[in-house]
Structure 1
């Protein structure tokens, strides 16, 4: 199975509890990949799904929702911390309607990327399609809340973008097309250009609070370590070097956007250094296992390879940083969400 992205949320070194806060953020609006997909892929023809056990085994009711996790994901916890609902629903889920989406919605699609070629690999929603759904959402919101209130909701909502890892591990390094077109540095520039245009389009649609996520140490995902035979199962250094380089370009992009666009606050959520601290010192965060995942053997399984009843699947996911070979456990998501609210997102609090 092709790899899916882990996640990209800024964390700080110390662990602080999430606080429930009331304020000026009426909704959490999310774009991205499997790090923030709450089940949109359940409703499109793709194999990139996780709507089956053991996914969701620690979710309320033990329900597999389509989140690539044993329970809730970071955006769910962020929503709750802002005094909103405890889960952010998937836009394509027919069990929800605009009254649910008015306080939070995710358009994310597992296995996608900035590059349209990345979304083509497993036939998932490209970023431009997520934007089209967002426009449709705005029309529904205007009908539901009235034009004036809907505009206020959009301008004050926190827009979170978590995407990019798939462009490298599922596209650039997996197939020859992009790597034959672009040296890695130019491909990074290509993706950063798409990120810039996407933020500007959100701005043009009324968004004023935007978080642009960077890449985690993608060379340290369990699958990458498992297949790093020459490196004796250690993190893949070249993947991590690319993550650091690309993050630097996104950070500079955020600075330029804040200067170019009026009345906007764009923040950069860079998870790299802090997530690497978790990997190097897992016990400091309450983890015991970081090199392998909870599901199945923990070495290479995700999606349909993460099957219910596999005798190797761990009994306590809270001991593990990763749930499957690409995605974090609910506990990891909660830690990152708590820290992000206390650091980067604190400036959006009243």
Structure 2
């Protein structure tokens, strides 16, 4: 089959991008909330051990520069913003190298290690979701001061908001620490998180957001870290975790449907990445990958953040052959394929 799947995704995306360009584009900015799947460097400036602003992270980014993105290159918001003709990468709000002029067309409030649950952000001392909203309110004030109220409000209402959360709530919190498990079954915890998600969307809506893309969970049981610890099943995917992810995504779809009905002028879509990531993992050669069970960095089993060392002789030389960059996060190539898959729906909906 070769690279037929990639070629198809790229072709459809390019057609939609051309249509968007001809139509002038209806998305003036891309605004990002979430965790490490979309964090472009906010963790660089906070007191946490969960950072990635050092090599080999970013070795395939512009000029080989580590930015705080948990990848060897770009992450999905960068590809999505580029497809909408906004910019090639989304800057982190806490990065002192950028100003409100840069943030006017795109800004990231995400923090690696965070979740919907405040208890999740406390595990590694990262930015909780409520604080991401506080930064967003601060951003709005700066934007109005910079552009004037009318122009700022137009950007706020027409911007595309990307939300990607949930993985850490389960893998970093629920399944590791007993506190939540003592109070909630898995299904109850899913409902607990989704109630937070619903209120989060309503708060964004009250602040002027109208175009939202919400990503649920990928096959979390197939992350290299989970496979490495799944010794009894000979390092196969943890299907219990994958089942939890599928259940969460199904409930999230229902929440999004209800929000669209309840909130006038809201256009929220489910950017469900589970099918494409699962397909990449089960049929890697179709997408040009050679290694799926281990990551590129170091031994590819447990390493992420500071354990992902530039000094490790085991780190792969060509990340494009690997689905995962570190034990938890995809490579630039995987991020591009997933983004192209999601863009078919996003470009069709928001342009």
Normalised by the size of structure 1, how large is the TM-score?
0.95
RMSD: 1.4
- What's the counterpart of residue 9 of structure 2? 15
Matches within 5 A, 1:66-105: 66-105=68-107
Per-residue deviation, residues 246-282 of structure 1 (Å, max 9, x unmatched): 1111000000000000011010111112211111101
Distance (whole Å) between structure 2 residues aligned to residue 289 and residue 166 of structure 1: 24
**Partner residue, 1:330:** 332
Q: Is the 8 A contact 1:12 1:274 kept in 2?
A: no
Q: Distance in 2 between matches of 1:121 and 1:33?
A: 13
The match for 1:292 is: 294
Q: Corresponding residue for 2:207?
A: 205
CA distance in 1, matches of 2:249, 2:340: 22
Distance (Å, rounded) in 1 between the aligned partners of 2:8 and 2:280: 11
Listed as ranges, the matches of 1:96-115 within 5 Å are 96-115=98-117
CA distance in 2 between counterparts of 1:275 and 1:67 reads 19
Aligned equivalent of 2:246: 244
CA–CA separation in structure 2 for the residues paired with 1:340 and 1:13 = 15
CA distance in 2, matches of 1:12, 1:239: 27
Shift of 1:12: 10
Contact 2:121 2:127 in 1 (8 A): yes
Residues 55 and 66, structure 2, Cα contact 8 Å, conserved in 1: yes
Structure 2: segments with no counterpart, 5+ residues: none
Q: Does 1:145 align with 2:147?
A: yes
Q: How many residues align?
A: 339
Q: Contact 2:114 / 2:121 at 8 angstroms: preserved in 1?
A: yes
Cα distance in 2 for partners of 1:346, 1:58 equals 30
Structure 1 gaps of 5+ residues are 1-10
The whole-number CA distance in structure 2 between the counterparts of 1:51 and 1:178 is 31
What SS does the aligned partner of 2:10 have?
coil
Give the Cα separation in 2 of the matches to 1:268 and 1:41: 26
Q: TM-score when scaled to structure 2?
A: 0.94
CA distance in 1, matches of 2:318, 2:85: 29
Higher relative contact order (CA 8 A, sep 6+): 1
1:294 deviates by 0.3
Aligned to 2:162: 160
- Kindly report structure 1 stretches of 4+ aligned residues shifted beyond 6 Å: none
What SS is found at the alignment partner of 1:210? strand
Task: Compare 263-272 and 119-128 and name the one that shifted more.
Answer: 263-272
Distance 1:13 1:214, change over 3 A: farther
**Is the helix fraction higher in 1 or 2?**
2
